[in-house]
Amino acid sequence: MMPQSVTVRVERPEGRPIRIWVPVLPVVLVLSPVVALAVLGAAVACLVYRVSVVRALGAGWRVVSALPGTRVDIEQDRTAVLVAIR
């Protein structure tokens, strides 16, 4: 299943934390020409390096499907960035 939303929270030492909710589907639809070019470029790279295109695209889809539930927490000094993929 494709991720539905990405939540980004930035905690700053002063003030309230900033939260941003990004729905994935509208972003993918807007960037679909770029995604199509990236898939085409990946297919050409697979052919150049003699890798099965179908297996490579299948592996890429499995990685995208495994993203829901992923959390990335980055802290440096007194600032923290938290990313949650749902």
Distance, CA of 69 to CA of 10 (rounded, Å): 19
Distance, CA of 60 to CA of 46 (rounded, Å): 12
| pTM of the model as a whole | 0.72
Q: Per residue in 19-40, pLDDT tens?
A: 999 999 999 899 999 999 999 9
pLDDT average, residue stretch 31-59: 95
Q: Where is pLDDT greater, at 70 or 12?
A: 70
Q: Per residue in 5-18, pLDDT tens?
A: 999 999 988 888 99
Q: Structural domain boundaries of the chain?
A: 5-85
